Structure 1
Amino acid sequence: MRDTSPGVAPAHPDGPVLPGTGRLRHAPADHPPVRRAKIGVLLANLGTPDNYDYWSMRRYLSEFLSDKRVIDYPSWKWQPLLQLIILSKRPFTSGDNYRLIWNHETNESPLMTITKDQTRRIAQAMAALHGDSVLVDFCMRYGNPSTESKVQAMVAAGCEKILFMPLYPHYAGATSATANDAFFAALMKEKRQPAARTVPEYFDHPLYIEALAQSVERAYAGLDQRPDVLVASYHGMPQRYLMEGDPYHCQCAKTSRLLRERLGWAPGSIDTTFQSVFGPEEWLKPYTVKHVAELARQGKKRIAVMAPAFSADCIETLEEINGEIREAFEHAGGEVFTYIPCLNDDDAHIDALVAVIADNLAGWVR
């Protein structure tokens, strides 16, 4: 009978493993070593270039912008434009932007540093609950460490079950779905395929909303004057995707509403906007960069901006929001721009992520 006591992974079905050998007690001498069964929790974020030089940026951007979930134009039309025109120039400008926010102490992007910190904190929480039977690690959808490499490592470590968690509170085809695609593709290459689960979106989880609310309350408590408006800036997507059934827009709107209700604010006190517009199509509106400028022209001289859809600060928050969007507001006459950082490895955020993971491990651990 398998050991199903709380927090303990089951023994191998063919019998106990001889201590220190990795061999099954009743297996022939030439049987390959068998590791004690574990459960893997694999966190996934968008990704980051290895450095901000031209070729590192080009490799990263080529992988990212070649993803059909991100840009769904026909390859015959898109790839020549991408490879011959966009990737001849954009690596330079993107590299300059990454250089501004780069963590030179560890020689990595802030997203990498923060994801490592989140993983460490979650691993500590899982160890407190389940000992060494649950292995926690992270991967990136684009760049390194790849999803495939981490799935291989977990299988090699004895993970017979893997819970895959895209670190996106809101579902979108261009984020959650493509992360899951990479996970499933990695599983296809495994001889001994583990059981697998994916974590769904958690945009309305009470602890996630609580973590957002606490971050707003902390930020406001440190200001001399209360901002006139709080802008919740979400990553954008083409309007067409909404029409085709992607639920992202509706989930963002609900997050803003739940946050406002938790804060006890009146309707209209939080504006929902969308950033990072790319290409000629119409994207979800209002566009953050234009909206903050309009607020300034309307006499809203003090605003705060947060990014609820990002689990960690990255190029889109540290450079785009706190750079380009801030400048648009100030250029239009705005006076005080407050950026509220992402939840990162804040205690309340880690508590929320651990709770979501625990919910999705139900039946695998007690």
Structure 2
Amino acid sequence: MFYFASAVRLRPAVIVTTAIRCVERNLSIGRPFLGGGYLRNLNTCNGSTATIQVKGIKKRTQRRKPISVDDIGQIPGFWRVSAFSTSEEFRLEELHTALLESNMYQPTSLYNGSDDSAEPMPPDVIHAVSKFHVTSEPRHLYFFREGSVVGWNMTDLEVNTLMSFLSEHEIGPYNDDIVQNEKEIMFYTYTEDKRSSIQKGNLHLITKDCGMACDLDRYTFSNAMAHSVKLGTWEAQLEEYIDSVEFVTQDLQHGLPIRITRKEVMKKTGELFGLRHKINLSSDLLDLPDFYWEREQLENFYRSTCNYFSISSRLKTMNLKINHCLELVELLSYNLSDKHHIRLEWMIIVLIMVEVGFEIIHYIELYVK
């Protein structure tokens, strides 16, 4: 309800036409463009053609992006849940100690209710609650070792303060623009239903009277949402990578010399393999976390939440893009290696010619004598 598909990111385009509105109409009906500096003809209102030069147009995987909370306002009975990823990893042990020493948040178990039962936290996760209550709704925080945080009932000011607090415990911090752009925001409320669910873009959490079940569902949703923002940061990094090699594809299209060295190609190849390793090997995005193996109801809720955030399709799209990028760098590596071999062959030929020249001079000297 409060989410919409992300817009297509367009680079500056040079439009040569007098019928701008008609060109926009062509755009609105979804006519495709070709990237890489191609010229494209569009039909105008009067039947004539307008030529536009499109350079580097890219379409990012559609994903739900939140509308600003300031534009919507606080809805009675609904609270906000925010998720963001600030780094590749948190020093979770140091962070746990820092939280204990702070006067704001208290690390705790996943659930510790009036029945004196306690549910231990899964490994690599910290659950903390705010020591001070601004409203009747408590504020919960989930810190994941993978560098993601999910905060329940937190304001923008508190989120920004928390980001500053986390900066001392980060490994491989991300760019601030990526952190802000990939932040996820949703609204949640409580329901009398027996199961938590996502309806019309809002999370309907089972009532707090359910005790442990409510806390487990809150953690499960946080886990899936943390995966979504982490995947979002990797998507942004891949887009930056694609932008960085775009000039190479344009040079290839126009038959121009390749403006990249073998060392740079190796570096680009390493970046791709590093990103693929993080996505497919180091994360739990492809596998079901161990926490849900013996909790069938939580597993179903976890899978449905991941489906809501389109994690599987986004993963598939990312791997396809990475494969295409790898094909490009392999082509560049082969081309540059071939040039290197040709250069070596010419050096050998020149050396042979020099040696032959010396031998000719030697024989001439002998003949003259």
In which range does the TM-score fall when normalised by the shorter chain?
under 0.3
Higher-Rg member (1/2): 2
Higher relative contact order, chain-length normalized (CA < 8 Å, sep 6+): 1
